[in-house]
A and B are shown apart, each in its own frame.
Chain A
Amino acid sequence: MYVKAVRPTDLNRNTEWFTYPGVWTTYILILFFSWLIVLSVLNCSSGLAWTIVHLSHFLVTYHFFHWKKGTPFADDQGIYNRLTWWEQIDSGKQLTRNRKYLIASHTTDYQHPMLFLNTLAVFVLVVAKFPHMHKVRIFGINADQ
């Protein structure tokens, strides 16, 4: 089964890959397979496995989307050095389809008994994705030198 790839007009090579077909599916599949792996390695209940997946998803996505700034290559001469990946995506336009998908993919899995930790993770990640938080650095955390 074939899909067509339309070239986006995004010049930022760091975020442009997110608009191609198959990204959303890969994201879901990675989460699902890591859930299966956690379940098979730890032999725990499915709710606990989801909590573990959810919390590690929180750590990974917070680090890569909202903490790391700039791009992993030097071609663009550092024009994105002050922006995290989330702020770079879709050239800074708020509430595009991609951004709404990433917000929505948090608020769907939280279960007992670790409800508190899960809710905290969801809260931090969803707030970090709000349009009002664009380029905001609370208490100067992660601001530039």
Chain B
Amino acid sequence: MITIPYVTALATYFSYGLLFVFGHIRDLFRKITGCFSSNNLQGYAPICLGNEDFYQRRLYQRIRDCFERPIASAPDAWFDLVERFSNDSNKTLERTTRIRRCLNLGSYSYLGFAAPDEYCTPRATDSLNKYSPSTCSSRVDGGTTVLHKELEKHVANFLGKQDAIVFGMGYVTNSAILPVLIGKGGLIISDSLNHCSIVNGARGSGATIRVFQHNTPSHLEEVLREQISEGQPRTHRPWKKIVVIVEGIYSMEGDFCKLPEIVAICKKYKAYTYLDEAHSIGAIGKTGRGVCELLGVDPADVDIMMGTFTKSFGSCGGYIAGSKELIQYLKYTCPAHLYATSMSPPAAEQIISAIKVILGEDGTSRGAQKLARVRENSNFFRSELQKMGFEVLGDNDSPVMPIMLYNPAKIPAFSRECLKRNVAVVVVSFPATPLLLARARICLSASHTKEELLKALEVISQVGDLLGIKYFGAEPKKHQQEEKMKKLE
């Protein structure tokens, strides 16, 4: 539930209306001048049909310099950002050779494994020498190394499931697994804010898709009851199977899913649960085992657990964990396993080392320290931002915190002003988020120290005052006032 000041909502609609009007006027002129210049398509159809690229041309291009900024170093707590300039209002962006050292508040490196690590990096380099960067083969042919086998075993043990299967890319894990798990005649019920990879996989499966209100178990129950009683669309036969898909942490909101209630409802109506832990695995929970550990859900209750290694483990790829029969089935049907090149061996070694560090199997307590630090950092940062009067979304303990901006003009302003002060943030706008709810998303990491967080808070506070995004009043500094009173007395 997001609370918006009413005047801000009106102003945001008006701003978008103005932007659309100007965009359409420009398009009108483009059409008029385009009539005179010759069209070199020679009978081929144009690539963009109708007005599909209107948003891209007229809104996104104005603020293109806030996205896709190239970096020239590893995404640690600080990184080198390459400066760019544009002479034709963002149609082309030229890179310069100047770099700017910025505080990194945008990478998903929750435990800090994205930077060279004393345990993981030597082992990854050794495996690079031993196994070479690519297996040059799919898993079925010649691409299964001992590292892949070991990785699958480690992932299964880490999550408390019977077996696991890993893929080279996280997005592909969702979009290639869903069509294999469910097909026409099945029902997929997915949270309204699920990630694009889940939406693509669900659409590709051919099953009927229904959406329930974000994180509302009562609405999920309502949708389930309605769908089970009606059956398949025209024939009204019973559904072949029902899968409910939720995520551990929603990356645009920073809130956890209400897993205990949702699992209870799925058990009641005999639907399968698919949990996508892309952001929560490794970063949440006392030992980093994800949202199941945090919310006290038995991993055996979740039928299919999916996750990615790109966030907390500092590598690439994704996994699916489940029962032995499920993984066996996936191994001979999933096209990502049969035809796609297997994960790069040094990447697999990085994940194995990262899991060992998290569990403390490397002989140190660095893993536990990292987990504690990311939790402390997130809670401290979130509470400080809320005290300053920003509207911050997300639950406590979640390292993802979106700061609401709303107005479209504040999106590039926030990004550029923070960059001037050497803080790099990620801003998100329509259509990745709803029209009204544009935000700046901060991702904290265990490698951020307290001083860096304080610097970031100072910069964000300055920029927030400049832009007027402190929608809730800042809390009065009661302690200072009390001290002043005491001194006077």
A interface residues with partner B (beta carbon < 8 Å): 1-9, 11, 13, 16-17, 20-23, 25-26, 29-30, 68-75, 78, 81
Q: With A26-B14, A74-B53 in contact, do A11 and B2 touch (Cβ < 8 Å)?
A: no
- Please tell me if B269 contacts chain A, counting CB pairs below 8 Å: no
B118 close to A (CB within 8 Å): no
Given A1-B6, A25-B10, A73-B431, are A20 and B213 neighbors across the interface (CB < 8 Å)? no
Contact bitstring B205-220, A, C-beta under 8 A = 1, else 0: 0000001111000010
- Having A17-B435, A73-B52, A73-B54, one finds 15 other A-B pairs with CB under 8 Å, namely A1-B7, A7-B192, A7-B214, A8-B213, A9-B219, A11-B211, A26-B17, A68-B51, A70-B50, A72-B51, A73-B56, A74-B48, A74-B52, A75-B196, A81-B49
Q: How many A-B residue pairs have CB under 8 A?
A: 100
Interface residues of B in 1-54 (CB under 8 A from A): 1-7, 9-10, 13-14, 17, 48-54
B436 contact set on A, CB distance < 8 A:
5, 17, 20
Q: Evaluate contact between B213 and A7: CB separation under 8 angstroms.
A: yes
B residues contacting the other copy or chain, number (CB 8 A): 36
Q: Which residues of B contact A69 (CB under 8 A)?
A: 50
Complexed CA–CA distance, A3 and B213 (Å)? 19
With a CB–CB cut-off of 8 A, which chain A residues contact B196? Answer: 75
B residues apposed to A, CB below 8 Å: 1-7, 9-10, 13-14, 17, 48-56, 192-193, 196, 199, 211-214, 219, 430-431, 434-437
- The residues of A that contact B6 with a CB separation of less than 8 Å are 1-3, 21-22
- Cβ-neighbour of A75 out of B9, B17, B431, B435 (below 8 A): B431
**Considering only CB atoms, which chain B residue lies closest to A2 in the complex?**
B3
Q: How far is the CA of A71 from the CA of B265 in the complex (A)?
A: 36
Contacts of A17 in B (CB 8 A): 13, 434-436
Contacts of B192 on A, CB cut-off 8 Å? 7-9, 11
Secondary structure at chain A's binding surface: helix, strand, loop or mixed?
A: loop
Task: For A21, give its contact among B1, B4, B55 (CB under 8 Å).
Answer: B4
Report the bound CA distance from A4 to B17 in whole Å: 22
Complex Cα distance A1/B5, Å?
A: 6
- Chain B residues with CB under 8 A of A13: 430-431, 434-435
Interface contact A16-B52, CB-CB below 8 Å: no
| Distance between Cα atoms of A69 and B49 in the complex (Å) | 11
Q: How far is the CA of A20 from the CA of B10 in the complex (A)?
A: 11
Residues of A within 8 A of B431 (CB): 13, 73, 75
Complex Cα–Cα for A140 and B435 (A): 33
Partner of B54, one of A23, A26, A72: A72
* Contact between chains at B9 and A21 (CB < 8 Å): yes
Give 10 nearest A-B pairs by CB, closest first: A22-B9, A17-B435, A72-B54, A26-B13, A73-B55, A13-B431, A74-B52, A72-B55, A5-B2, A9-B211
Residue of A nearest to B435 (CB): A17
Q: Enumerate chain B residues within 8 angstroms of A21, measured Cβ to Cβ.
A: 4, 6, 9
Q: List 22 A-B contacts (CB under 8 A).
A: A2-B4, A2-B6, A3-B5, A5-B1, A5-B2, A5-B437, A6-B213, A9-B213, A17-B435, A21-B9, A22-B10, A26-B10, A26-B14, A70-B50, A71-B52, A73-B52, A73-B55, A73-B56, A74-B48, A78-B49, A81-B49, A81-B50
